[in-house]
Amino acid sequence: MGEQGLRERLAPYFWVTKPRIVELLLATAVPTLFLAANGLPTVIETIAVVIGGSAAAASANTYNSIYDRDIDAVMHRTGSRPLASGVISVRAGLIQATVLGIVSVLTLGLLTNWLAAFLGFLAIVMYALGYTILLKRSTPQNIVWGGAAGCMPVLIAWAAVTGSLSWTPVILFLIVFFWTPAHYWPLAIKYRDDYAAVGVPMLPVVAPTRVVTRNIVVYAVVMVGASLALIPVAPMGWVYGIGALILGIWFVIISFGLVKRSHRENADYDELQKPAMKVFHGSITYLALLFLLIGVTPFLP
């Protein structure tokens, strides 16, 4: 088998882990390492969090793809996913997800400490069982409570460095927790018809536009409040404080623009798709820049 043929065979096993989600989770975990270490973490701690954290997220995402393969096959956005299209068998997916989970726990436990390892295991359970199986198809609040699994990387990174948890990682957790609905509901607006077709009660499927957009702004405002609460607790410097305030005001403004559009007479979900995706992409920019500020803060006067 040639090199190209091997890449083609292995590619589905890579994509089933949803690497873009893994990248986003690492974007919160790595800056947390610097904050927890108040400077540079050790090479071992960094390797453990990057490999162990990535493996945990990849494991959870693979389990999610196994369970959701029926609805993924119907939705336009997800129909080509490896398990939904049958490129990867359920047995192969289960083996991969389980091996990745074991790699995650052992990497974190042996290279850092078992608190970080337990938090990695908990993240997998929360996403694969809590969100995917129990919440996603049963409640419009699925992404709120299920999204807590996506907040775990900051706790894992902090525990890997310090061996404990404190108020600082809790606030980091809350920033990502409140960010998740403000990030995901705009995407759900765009793919509302897909979710409705497979019976997944995402909030835009079961609620009018005004309710959804107001909820997005509420979560955005609370998220900004959590980001500012970090200043006296960590404590953070003036660069972070000014940057977090500017980023927060910017994101609330673009979120409020979605509310204004939804309150126009006869505004429907089709009209909101373009501005909703602006908020979706803006949320990614917001989180990346905020955690960049968090990561550089220990190196500033």
Q: Which amino acid is at 33?
A: L
> What pLDDT was estimated at residue 141?
93
Note the pLDDT tens digit of each residue in 61-108.
Answer: 999 999 999 999 999 888 889 999 999 999 999 999 999 999 999 999
Q: Does domain 166-301 have CATH number 1.10.3470?
A: no
> What pLDDT was estimated at residue 5?
74
Percent of the chain exceeding pLDDT 90 equals: 89
Q: Where are the domains of the chain?
A: 1-163, 166-301
User: 292: which 2 tokens?
Assistant: 């960049």
How far is the C-alpha of 65 from the C-alpha of 176, rounded, in Å? 23
> What pLDDT was estimated at residue 268?
87
> What pLDDT was estimated at residue 266?
67
Banded model confidence at residue 1, pLDDT cuts 50, 70, 90: low
Strand residues in 134-220 grouped as ranges (E): none
Number of other residues whose CB lies within 10 A of the CB of residue 249: 10
3-state secondary structure of 200: coil
> What pLDDT was estimated at residue 264?
77
Looking at domain 1-163, which CATH architecture does it have?
Orthogonal Bundle (1.10)
Banded model confidence at residue 278, pLDDT cuts 50, 70, 90: very high
3-state secondary structure of 242: helix
Q: Which amino acid is at 159?
A: A
Instruction: Indicate if the pLDDT at residue 280 is higher than 90.
Output: yes
**Cβ-contact 146, 206 below 8 angstroms:** no
Instruction: Indicate if the pLDDT at residue 6 is higher than 80.
Output: no
154 vs 261, residue with greater confidence: 154
Q: Which amino acid is at 3?
A: E
Contacts of range 274-277, beta carbons closer than 8 Å, 24 or more positions apart = 276/186, 276/187, 276/189, 276/190, 277/186, 277/187, 277/190
How far is the C-alpha of 281 from the C-alpha of 13, rounded, in Å? 26
Domains 1-163 and 166-301 share a fold: no
**Cβ-contact 32, 290 below 8 angstroms:** no
Q: What's the burial of 96, exposed, middle or buried (CB within 10 Å: 0-12/13-18/19+)?
A: buried
Helix (H) or strand (E) holding 262: helix 238-262
Q: Which amino acid is at 126?
A: M
> What pLDDT was estimated at residue 22?
95
> What pLDDT was estimated at residue 247?
98
